């Protein structure tokens, strides 16, 4: 099997910023509540008419430029998203056309907040066994398009953004270990009820606000902490490593309190945990990848560093990955 690594990163966050103070004018909430309960201060919001592929495009162009490869050299595009431009075709197909990546096979992957970790794990398989040479993996969401702006339990949490990475064969380092999991018995505690084949769009589903994301946040909290802790332990055991070997943990950004509880359980000091939740909120599939891109750009991930990605979300699904940069 070939060694596979990330050779280029890129991210895009929409221009418009929605602060906690802005939200105070929309629902019965406060900056104090949102900050202390979640760690979020502001989030980026896509402009009207700006769809997932519009956010994915600049992130992908940046990643390709960083990797110094042309779109025509891509063999595979995997887009992790739960808020694609439309139910079908895939964002990956739309992105392929926008990039001019004519020879790339394309598909979307639905694993919510663990989408990016699932995405790089899937792409790694194609590259490791030599089926393909170059892959683009994107995590993108326009979660504000499925946010109920009348529901203070959820509308303060989410934001929009995109991140992209280019994967190829590397001589040293690269992806050391990945671990993916799912517990499908808890679909009800985080989902978007209508618009699929179970409950197709109708006047009634619109009236009942069933085209918006629903979440039982407090039920998820403890599960998130325990699952992310376990996922990190499993992926480290697979790699025959310990937490002392990890230079930086880049977790999914659902809640700063969840992340810090995981870090505490794992015995990882705060300074080795990367956070962008304060500026971005929860961007589901886009969170882990934009955090990774930012950490690289800020010089917090250097050549030879070992990083741990750790994500959890609707499904319930989870994924963890260790990469030597
Ligand atoms: N502003 C002010 N008050 C709010 C509020 C808001 N935006 N949202 C909820 N509240 C209120 C509730 O109504 C409740 O009031 P009550 O006690 O009078 O009933 C109180 O705050 C506590 O609500 P609760 O849901 O228990 O808060 P919490 O401490 O669990 O925080 C979350 C809520 C959503 C931030 C937190 O549960 C969370 O992050 N959950 C996990 C999310 C997650 O991991 N998702 C999966 C990956 S995407």
252 catalytic residue (yes or no): yes
Does 114 sit in the ligand 1 pocket, CB within 6 Å?
no
Residue nearest to atom 30 of ligand 1 (CA): 218
- Each domain of the chain, given as residue ranges in start order, spans 4-172, 176-324
**Could you tell me the two tokens for 1?**
């099997």
The strand order across the sheet containing 248-251 reads 174-182, 317-324, 306-313, 248-251
**Could you tell me the two tokens for 21?**
């103070």
User: Annotated catalytic residue: which of 106, 276, 282, 321?
Assistant: 282
Q: What is the pLDDT of residue 66?
A: 98
Q: What is the pLDDT of residue 276?
A: 96
In the reported structure, the alpha carbon of residue 156 is separated from the centroid of ligand 1 by a whole-number distance in angstroms of: 10
pTM above 0.75, yes or no: yes
Nearest atom within ligand 1 for CA of residue 153 = 8
List CB contacts of 14: < 8 A, sequence separation 6 or more.
44, 45, 46, 47, 50, 55, 160, 161
Quote the longest CA-to-CA distance of the chain: 56
- Tens of each residue's pLDDT in the chain, 325 residues: 999 999 999 999 999 999 999 999 999 999 999 999 999 999 999 999 999 999 999 999 999 999 999 999 999 999 999 999 999 999 999 999 999 999 999 999 999 999 999 999 999 999 999 999 999 999 999 999 999 999 999 999 999 999 999 999 999 999 999 999 999 999 999 999 999 999 999 999 999 999 999 999 999 999 999 999 999 999 999 999 999 999 999 999 999 999 999 999 999 999 999 999 999 999 999 999 999 999 999 999 999 999 999 999 999 999 999 999 9
CB half-sphere exposure, 246, CA atoms < 13 A: 34
Token pair 């339990």 is found at 153
Query: Is the CATH code 3.30.1360.40 the one for domain 176-324?
Result: no
Strand ranges, E, within the chain: 4-12, 16-19, 42-45, 76-80, 105-109, 135-142, 160-169, 174-182, 190-191, 214-215, 248-251, 306-313, 317-324
CA distance 321 to 315: 19
Does 213 sit in the ligand 1 pocket, CB within 6 Å?
no
Q: What is the pLDDT of residue 257?
A: 96
Q: C-alpha distances in angstroms, 286 versus 35, 103, 108? A: 21, 25, 13
Q: What is the pLDDT of residue 244?
A: 92
CATH topology identical between 4-172 and 176-324: yes
282 catalytic residue (yes or no): yes
User: Annotated catalytic residue: which of 106, 134, 252, 255?
Assistant: 252
Rg (CA), the chain: 19
The CATH H-level (homologous superfamily) assignment of domain 4-172 is Thiolase/Chalcone synthase (3.40.47.10)
Tell which one of 22, 141, 151, 221 to mutate to probe ligand 1, the residue whose CB is within 8 A of the most ligand atoms. 221
The strand order across the sheet containing 135-142 reads 4-12, 160-169, 135-142, 76-80, 105-109
Give the CA-trace dihedral at 95, 100, 106, 111, to 10 degrees: -30
Q: What is the pLDDT of residue 273?
A: 97
User: Annotated catalytic residue: which of 20, 44, 106, 113?
Assistant: 113
């Amino acid at each position: 099997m070939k060694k596979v690594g990330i050779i280029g990163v890129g991210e895009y966050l929409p221009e418009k910023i929605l602060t906690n103070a802005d939200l105070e004018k929309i629902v019965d909430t406060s900056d104090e509540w949102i900050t202390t309960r979640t760690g979020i201060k502001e989030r980026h919001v896509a402009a009207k008419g700006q769809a997932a592929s519009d956010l994915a495009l600049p992130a992908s162009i940046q990643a390709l430029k960083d990797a110094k490869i042309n779109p025509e050299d891509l063999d595979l595009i995997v887009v992790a998203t739960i808020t694609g431009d439309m139910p079908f075709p895939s964002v990956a197909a739309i992105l392929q056309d926008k990039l001019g990546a004519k020879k790339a096979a394309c598909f979307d992957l639905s694993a919510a907040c663990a989408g990016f970790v699932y995405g790089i794990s899937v792409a790694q398989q194609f590259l490791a066994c030599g089926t393909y040479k170059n892959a683009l993996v994107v995590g993108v969401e326009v979660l504000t398009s499925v946010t109920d702006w009348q529901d203070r339990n959820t509308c303060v949490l989410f934001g929009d953004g995109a991140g992209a990475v280019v994967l190829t064969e590397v001589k040293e380092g690269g992806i050391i270990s990945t671990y993916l999991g799912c517990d499908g018995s808890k679909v009800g505690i985080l989902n978007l009820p209508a618009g699929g084949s179970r409950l197709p769009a109708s006047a009634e589903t619109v009236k009942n606000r069933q085209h918006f994301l629903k979440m039982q946040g407090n039920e998820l909290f403890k599960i998130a902490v325990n699952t992310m802790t376990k996922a990190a332990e499993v992926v480290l055991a697979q790699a025959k490593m310990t937490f002392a070997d990890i230079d930086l943990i880049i977790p999914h950004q659902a809640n700063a309190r969840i992340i810090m509880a995981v870090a505490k359980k794992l015995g990882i000091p705060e300074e080795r945990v990367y956070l962008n939740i304060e500026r971005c909120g929860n961007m589901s599939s886009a969170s882990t990848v934009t955090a990774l891109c930012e950490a690289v750009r800020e010089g917090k991930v250097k050549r030879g560093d070992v990083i741990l990605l750790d994500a959890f979300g609707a499904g319930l699904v989870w994924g963890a990955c260790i990469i030597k940069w």
